C-alpha cells in the first residue's frame, strides 16, 4: 500500500535534516586534527573527539563535513535517548502507519557524517546499536523493518566526550572506546585562540588578546573553585557582547564569570580577574 | 503579615510553641518583654531564627531566643548574620561554641562601630584573594596577616585590616593591588640580584630599602601593565603622577628590558646626589630582599637537586639524550646576576616527572632562566637515587608470616621486584565511643542536611519504558504496537512504563592514609569526615568499605580493616573509625594493590577506589620516597584501572600536590587546602563523583 499524501508530508516534515553548509564553516586548526580526521574518513574509520567543553569540537566536525563534501547529521545525546530515537520508528498518520528513519539511519542511507555529541549521556543500550557500524561490518540492523543496512563508503560515525566529567557512572566502556580513532582537543594556544575570538566575536585583536588572557587565568582555577575553566565558547560570547557595544567588564561578568561559578569566593575572584585584565 | 507589633504575651505564646517551654517548665516572659519593643518585622525575624535553631536542638533555640532578645535592638539589620554565625558554630562545636560565637559577634559589632566605616578585614577577602592569586600563579600561594604588606617570596603577608580607602570597595581593591605587587616581586625577579653591596654603602639602611622598594615598584608596575592593565590603572589612581624629580627613573625603569640591577643603579644614583626621605605613596608595599633571598637560596639548592636527579635518572635510562653522563666538569652555579641563557631543552624538560618540572619552573623564575650546569649531570658515574638516611632507625621486625606478598614496580629497572612487599591485614583498633557520638551530635545539623541531599539522589526514579507491567502507559510503545498490528507484524506486549529506583550498582573502597604525617588535625579531619560520609552513604545504600594503611618499609606494610564490605555501620565500626590514628609511613602502591583486590571481588558494575591522604607516597629509609614511590603507585593504579576500578584521590596537601595529575589523571582528584574543610567537602565530592 502506498502512503497517502498526508503521510508523506508528515514524514518529510519530521525527517532528519541533512545539513550541507554553502560557505566554509570557520575553523582554525590547532594541531594535526584535520589530517587525522581526513585520513580516518578515507579509511572508513570512526572518530572520537575528546576534550573540554567549548573548545571547538562541534565546529570542527562542521568544518570537516564541508571539507569532505558530505552532509552532516548531529545528535545531541541525553539520558532519555533510546535506540528508536536513533534508528527510527513507526508513526501513525490518520489511519496509516508510516516509517520514519531516525537520524542514524538517515545518515547511513545518505552516506553522511553522523555526529553523536556527548555520547556518554545516552542510555547504555544505544551504544549497542553503534557497535556493528564501527567495525568492519559497517552495518546497521533496523530490526523493526527487518532491514540490514550496509553503510556506503561516505558514511562516517563521529562521537564526542568530555573526559573532565567526574562521575564514575558515566564512563565509556573499553569495548566502545577502542573502536574509534581518537583526536584530543584542548584549548588552542593563546595567539591562535585570540585569532579565533577576534574572528568569531567580531572584536579587535587587543580585546581578543585580553579575553584569551582572562580565559587562561580561569583555567588555572580548575580544581580550585572551578570544575573547568572558561572554554573558547565563553570567550567568543563575551566578545560578541562587547562587539554589540557592551562594556567589557559587564560583558565578561555576564558571559564568563556568571556561567562559571556560583560560590561567592570564586565569583568574587573572577570579578577581580576581569577587572585586572581590562 | 500585619504591621501591628506583637504584645509580650503573644510573643511568649509563640516562643512557647517553638520551644515547648511549658514541658520544660521554663518561662520566656523576660525574653518576650524585651522583644515587645521591636517593630513587627524584626520580631518575626527573631522568631524565625528561634524556630530554625530549635530544629537543630531545642536548647540552641532557647539560647538564641534569650541572647537574641538581649541584643536585637543593637544588632538591627545585622540580626540574620548574627544568628547564622552562632548556628554555624554550633554545627562544629555545640552549644558552647554557639554561645562563644554570638558573644564574639557582638564584640565585633561594637568594635566595628568604633572603626572607620568601610574598612575591610583580611579575613573577609582572603578567600577571593587566594583564588585570584592561584589564577595568576598557577599554584596556591600562602597568605597571612601582618602589620604591613611584604613577602619573602613564598608567603604574602598583608595587613589584617585596611581602612585607607574611602569605602569598602576601595579597600578591597587595595588588598588586590598590594597582593599583586607582592606576587610580582617574586615573579619578575626582584630578589634575583644581591643588593647588599649597594645597601652597605648607605648610612641609613632603612632609607636605602625604602628607595629600593620605590624603584622596584616603578619597574614592576611597567611589567604588570601588559598582563594586568586593570591593576596598573588602580595603582595609578592611588599614586597620582610621579613627582617631576622621579620621572626620569620611572621612565627608564619602565623599559621592558629593565631589571633589578637597573633599580640598584638608580639607588646608587640617589645615594650620590644625597637622598632624603622617600615620598610616601599609598600603593607601596614593604620590601625585604634579605629574607626573600635567604629562602630563595634554599629553594634553588633544593630545586637544582631535584632537577639534576631527575635528569640523571632520565639519562641513565636513555643514554642518547644530550650531555651524556660525566663528560663535563661540574661548574658552580653561574655567578649571581650573570646573564643566563633562557630555558633550554623544552622537550627534555617535558619528559620529566611533575616534581622535577615544578622545580625547573621555579628555578627559571628564581634565576631568570636556566643555567646550563643544572642540566648537566651531577658528576661522573651513576646517579644517586636519593640521599639515604636509612639504618638510623631500626626497620620494624615482622611478626609472623605476612597475609599476602606483593610485587613492586621499579621504574628505573622497568621491572618488577618480586614478592617485595609483605602485607599484614588486621582489624583496626577500637577507639572511644564518646568521640563518634561527639562528632555526630556536633554535626547533627550538617549530617541531617547531607542525608537529605543524598536521599534525594537515591529517590530519583528512573522511568523504565517498554515494560510488561507498570504504573503508566508507554505511549510510544502503544503507537508502535498499533503500527505493527497494522503492518501485519507481531506487536510487542511491552506497553507500560515502570518507575524504579535507580540501581546504582556501585562499590566504593575508601583507603585512608594513617601515616605519621597525618598526626593531629589531619587525622581528626579524616575521622570526622568518615563519620559524615558513612551517614551519607548509608542514606544512599551504596556498598562501601573503609581500610586504613600505613607501614614501615617493605617488610611491614599494614592494612587496618575499619569496615569491610559486609560489615555494617554499627557501633563497632564507629569505634574503629574513632580508633584510626597516625602511625608510620605511606607505602601506597601495595595498599592500592591489596585493596583493589578486595574491591574487585565485588559484583557491582562500577568500582571506585577513593584514597584519602595528606601527601605523596613515602616510606622509611628506602627509595620509596620521591619518584620511585610515585611510579609504583601509578603502576598500581593502572593495574586497578585494568580491573575496571576507577581511582580518585582526595588530598590535604600543603605542598601543592603537583604529582596528582600524573597519578590519577586530570579531574580525578581534589586538593583540599585546609583539613578543617575536609568533613564538609568529602561528602560533596562523593556525591559529585557518583551523580
Ligand atoms: N579551533 C577553532 N576554530 C574556530 N572556532 C572555534 C575553534 N575553537 C572554538 N571555536 C569557537 O568556539 C565555539 C564553541 O565551539 P564548539 O561549539 O565547537 O565547542 P564544543 O567543543 O563542541 O563544545 P561542547 O563540548 O560543549 O559541545 C565555536 O562556536 C567557535 O566560535
Ligand atoms: Mg559541541
What would the pLDDT profile of A98-152 be if each residue is shown by its tens digit? 889 999 999 999 999 999 998 887 777 788 889 999 988 999 999 888 899 999 9
CA distance linking residue B361 with residue B339, whole number of Å = 18
Helix residue ranges per DSSP H, B196-288: 196-199, 205-227, 229-239, 247-253, 260-273
Q: CA B579 to CA B439: how far, in whole Å?
A: 14
Cell 591593576 found at: B231
Distance B666 CA to ligand 2 centre (A): 21
Report the run of H or E that residue B136 belongs to, with start and end: helix B122-137
Q: Which atom of ligand 1 is nearest to the CA of A160?
A: 25
Q: Measure the CA–CA gap between B658 and B204, rounded to whole angstroms.
A: 43
Phi-psi region of B607 (alpha: psi -120 to 50; beta: other; left: phi over 0): beta
Q: Helices (H) and strands (E) in chain B — how many of each?
A: 25, 16
Task: Please determine, for residue A8, whether its predicted confidence score (pLDDT) is greater than 50.
Answer: yes
Residue numbers in A near B482 (CB within 8 A): 92, 97
- Can you give the pLDDT at residue B460? 56
Partner-chain contact B135 A220, CB within 8 Å: yes
CB-CB neighbors (< 8 A) of B668 in chain A: 166
Alpha-carbon distance of B96 to A137, in angstroms, equals 72
pLDDT at B391: 36
pLDDT score of B371: 59
- Find the ligand nearest to A259 CA: 1
Other residues' Cβ atoms within 10 Å of the Cβ of residue B656: 16
Question: Do A97 and B130 count as a contact with CB atoms less than 8 A apart?
Answer: no
**Mapping DSSP to helix (H, G, I), strand (E, B) and coil, where does residue A167 land?**
coil
In which element (H, E) is residue A267 found? Answer: helix A264-277
Q: Are B266 and B253 in contact (CB under 8 A)?
A: yes
Cα gap B348→B369, rounded to integer Å: 15
Q: Which protein residues touch ligand 1 with a CB less than 6 Å away? A: A 26-28, 30, 53-59, 117, 162, 188, 196, 200, 232-233, 236
Is the distance from CB of B552 to CB of B396 less than 8 angstroms?
Answer: yes
Residues B194-229: b if buried by 16+ CB within 10 A, e if exposed:
bbeebbeebeeeebbbbbbbbbbbbbbbbbbbebbb
Instruction: Output the pLDDT for position A133.
Output: 93
Please report the pLDDT score of residue B344 as a whole number. 42
Please give the residue of chain A at the shortest CA–CA distance from B604: A169
- Report how far ligand 2's centroid is from the alpha carbon of A166 (Å): 18
Mutate to test the pocket of ligand 1, among A75, A159, A197, A232 (most ligand atoms within 8 A of CB): A232
Cell of A5: 499524501
Yes or no: say if A238 and B98 are a contact pair by the CB < 8 Å rule. no
Which ligand is nearest to the Cα of residue A74, counting in written order? 2
3-state secondary structure of B617: coil
At CA B602, angle to CA B596 and CA B603, rounded to 5?
A: 140
Those residues of chain B that have pLDDT short of 50 are 321-344, 377-397
CB B148 within 8 A of CB B157: yes
Q: Show the beta-strand stretches assigned E in chain A.
A: 47-50, 72-76, 88-93, 96-101, 113-117, 139-142, 147-150, 156-161, 181-184
> What's the CA gap between B104 and B82, in Å, rounded?
10
- pLDDT digit string (tens) for B198-248? 999 999 988 999 999 999 999 999 999 988 999 999 999 999 999 999 999
Domains of chain B by start residue, with CATH: 8-112 (no CATH), 118-187 (no CATH), 194-225+240-287 (no CATH), 291-375 (no CATH), 433-456+504-690 (3.40.50.410), 463-501 (no CATH)
Distance CA(B547)–CA(B508), nearest Å, equals: 11
Nearest Cβ partner for B479 among A92, A223, A268: A92
Cα separation, A28 vs A199, in Å, equals 10
pLDDT score recorded for residue A165: 63
CA distance A255 to A250: 8
Query: Which pLDDT score is estimated for B213?
Result: 93
CB B430 within 8 A of CB B572: yes
For A168, the closest of B130, B231, B608 (CB atoms) is: B608
Q: How many other C-beta atoms can be found within 10 angstroms of the C-beta atom of residue B580?
A: 24
Are B128 and A217 a contacting pair at CB < 8 A?
A: no
> Cβ contact (<8 Å) for A168 and B606?
yes
Amino acid at each position: 500500500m502506498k502512503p497517502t499524501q498526508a503521510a508523506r508530508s508528515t514524514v518529510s516534515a519530521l525527517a532528519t535534516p541533512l545539513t550541507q553548509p554553502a560557505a566554509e564553516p570557520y575553523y582554525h586548526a590547532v594541531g594535526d586534527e584535520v589530517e587525522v580526521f581526513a585520513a580516518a574518513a578515507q579509511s572508513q574509520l570512526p572518530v572520537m573527539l575528546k576534550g573540554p567543553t567549548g573548545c571547538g569540537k562541534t565546529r570542527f566536525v562542521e568544518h570537516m563535513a564541508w571539507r569532505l563534501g558530505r552532509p552532516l547529521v548531529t545528535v545531541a545525546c541525553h539520558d532519555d535517548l533510546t535506540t528508536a530515537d536513533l534508528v527510527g520508528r513507526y508513526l501513525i498518520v490518520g489511519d496509516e502507519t508510516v516509517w520514519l528513519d531516525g537520524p542514524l539511519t538517515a545518515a547511513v542511507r545518505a552516506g553522511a557524517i553522523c555526529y553523536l555529541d556527548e555520547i556518554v549521556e545516552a542510555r547504555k543500550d544505544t551504544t549497542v546499536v553503534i557497535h556493528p557500524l564501527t567495525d568492519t561490518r559497517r552495518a546497521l540492523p533496523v530490526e523493526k523493518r527487518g532491514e540490514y543496512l550496509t553503510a556506503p563508503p561516505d558514511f562516517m560515525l563521529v562521537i564526542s566526550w568530555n573526559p573532565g566529567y567526574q562521575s564514575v557512572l558515566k564512563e565509556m566502556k573499553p569495548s566502545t572506546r577502542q573502536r574509534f580513532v581518537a583526536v584530543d582537543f584542548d584549548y588552542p594556544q593563546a595567539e591562535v585562540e585570540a585569532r579565533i575570538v577576534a574572528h568569531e566575536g567580531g572584536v579587535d585583536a587587543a580585546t581578543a588578546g585580553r579575553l584569551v588572557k582572562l580565559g587562561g587565568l580561569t583555567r588555572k582555577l580548575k580544581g580550585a573553585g572551578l570544575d573547568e575553566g572558561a572554554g573558547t565558547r565563553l570567550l567568543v560570547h563575551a566578545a560578541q557582547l562587547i562587539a554589540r557595544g557592551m562594556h567589557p567588564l559587564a560583558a565578561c561578568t555576564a558571559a564568563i564569570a556568571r556561567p562559571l561559578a556560583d560560590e561567592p569566593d570564586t565569583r568574587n575572584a573572577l570579578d577581580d580577574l576581569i577587572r585586572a585584565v581590562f | 503579615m500585619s504591621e501591628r507589633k506583637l504584645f509580650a504575651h503573644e510573643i511568649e505564646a509563640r516562643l512557647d510553641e517553638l520551644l515547648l517551654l511549658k514541658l520544660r517548665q521554663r518561662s520566656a516572659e523576660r525574653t518576650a518583654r524585651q522583644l515587645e519593643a521591636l517593630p513587627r518585622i524584626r520580631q518575626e525575624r527573631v522568631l524565625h531564627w528561634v524556630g530554625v535553631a530549635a530544629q537543630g536542638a531545642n536548647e540552641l533555640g532557647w539560647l538564641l531566643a534569650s541572647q537574641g532578645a538581649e541584643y536585637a535592638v543593637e544588632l538591627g539589620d545585622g540580626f540574620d548574620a548574627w544568628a547564622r554565625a552562632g548556628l554555624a558554630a554550633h554545627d562544629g562545636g555545640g552549644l558552647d561554641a554557639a554561645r562563644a560565637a554570638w558573644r564574639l559577634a557582638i564584640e565585633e559589632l561594637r568594635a566595628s562601630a568604633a572603626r572607620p566605616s568601610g574598612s575591610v578585614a583580611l579575613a573577609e577577602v582572603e578567600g577571593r584573594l587566594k583564588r585570584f592569586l592561584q589564577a595568576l600563579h598557577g599554584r596556591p600561594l600562602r597568605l597571612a596577616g601582618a602589620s604591613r604588606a611584604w613577602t619573602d617570596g613564598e608567603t604574602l603577608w598583608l595587613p589584617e585590616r585596611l581602612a585607607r580607602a574611602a569605602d569598602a570597595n576601595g579597600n578591597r581593591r587595595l588588598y588586590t593591588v598590594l597582593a599583586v605587587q607582592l606576587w610580582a616581586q617574586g615573579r619578575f625577579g626582584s630578589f634575583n640580584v644581591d643588593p647588599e653591596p649597594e645597601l652597605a654603602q648607605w648610612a641609613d639602611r632603612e632609607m636605602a630599602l625604602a628607595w629600593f622598594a620605590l624603584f622596584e615598584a616603578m619597574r614592576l608596575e611597567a611589567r604588570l601593565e601588559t598582563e594586568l592593565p586593570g591593576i596598573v590603572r588602580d595603582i595609578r589612581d592611588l599614586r597620582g603622577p610621579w613627582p617631576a624629580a622621579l620621572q626620569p627613573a620611572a621612565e627608564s625603569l619602565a623599559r621592558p628590558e629593565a631589571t633589578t640591577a637597573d633599580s640598584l643603579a638608580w639607588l646608587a644614583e640617589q645615594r650620590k646626589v644625597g637622598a632624603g626621605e622617600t615620598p610616601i605613596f599609598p600603593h607601596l608595599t614593604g620590601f625585604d630582599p634579605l629574607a626573600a633571598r635567604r629562602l630563595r637560596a634554599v629553594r634553588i639548592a633544593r630545586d637544582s637537586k631535584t632537577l639534576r636527579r631527575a635528569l640523571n635518572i632520565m639519562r641513565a635510562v636513555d643514554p642518547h639524550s644530550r650531555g651524556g653522563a660525566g663528560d663535563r666538569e661540574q661548574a658552580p652555579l653561574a655567578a649571581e646576576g650573570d646573564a643566563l641563557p633562557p630555558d633550554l631543552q623544552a622537550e627534555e624538560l617535558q619528559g620529566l616527572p611533575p616534581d622535577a618540572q615544578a622545580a625547573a619552573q621555579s628555578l627559571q623564575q628564581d634565576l631568570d632562566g636556566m643555567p646550563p650546569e643544572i642540566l648537566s649531570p651531577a658528576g661522573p658515574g651513576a646517579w644517586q637515587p636519593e640521599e639515604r638516611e636509612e639504618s638510623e632507625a631500626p626497620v620494624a621486625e615482622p611478626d609472623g608470616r605476612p597475609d599476602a606478598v606483593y610485587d613492586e614496580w621499579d621504574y628505573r629497572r622497568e621491572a618488577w621486584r618480586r614478592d617485595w612487599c609483605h602485607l599484614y591485614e588486621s582489624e583496626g583498633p577500637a577507639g572511644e565511643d564518646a568521640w563518634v557520638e561527639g562528632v555526630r551530635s556536633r554535626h547533627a545539623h550538617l549530617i541531617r542536611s547531607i542525608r537529605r541531599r543524598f536521599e534525594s539522589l537515591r529517590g530519583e526514579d528512573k522511568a523504565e519504558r517498554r515494560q510488561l507491567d507498570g504504573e503508566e502507559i508507554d505511549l510510544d510503545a502503544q503507537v508502535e504496537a498499533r503500527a505493527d498490528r497494522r503492518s501485519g507484524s507481531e506487536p510487542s506486549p511491552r506497553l507500560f512504563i515502570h518507575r524504579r529506583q535507580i540501581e546504582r550498582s556501585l562499590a566504593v573502597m575508601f583507603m585512608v592514609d594513617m601515616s605519621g604525617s597525618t598526626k593531629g588535625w589531619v587525622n581528626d579531619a579524616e575521622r570526622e569526615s568518615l563519620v559524615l560520609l558513612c551517614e551519607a552513604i548509608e542514606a544512599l545504600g551504596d556498598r562501601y568499605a573503609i581500610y586504613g594503611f600505613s607501614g614501615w618499609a617493605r617488610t611491614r606494610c599494614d592494612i587496618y580493616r575499619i569496615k569491610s564490605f559486609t560489615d555494617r555501620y554499627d557501633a563497632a565500626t564507629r569505634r574503629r573509625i574513632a580508633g584510626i590514628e597516625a602511625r608510620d609511613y605511606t607505602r601506597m602502591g601495595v595498599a592500592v594493590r591489596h585493596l583493589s583486590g578486595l574491591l574487585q571481588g565485588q559484583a557491582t558494575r562500577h568500582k571506585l577506589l577513593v584514597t584519602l591522604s595528606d601527601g605523596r607516597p613515602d616510606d622509611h629509609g628506602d627509595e620509596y620516597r620521591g619518584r620511585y614511590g610515585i611510579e609504583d603507585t601509578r603502576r598500581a593504579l593502572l593495574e586497578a584501572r585494568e580491573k575496571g576500578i576507577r581511582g580518585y584521590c582526595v588530598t590535604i596537601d600543603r605542598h601543592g600536590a603537583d604529582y596528582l595529575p600524573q597519578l590519577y589523571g586530570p579531574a580525578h582528584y581534589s586538593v583540599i587546602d585546609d583539613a578543617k574543610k575536609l568533613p564538609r567537602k568529602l561528602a560533596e565530592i562523593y556525591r559529585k563523583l557518583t551523580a
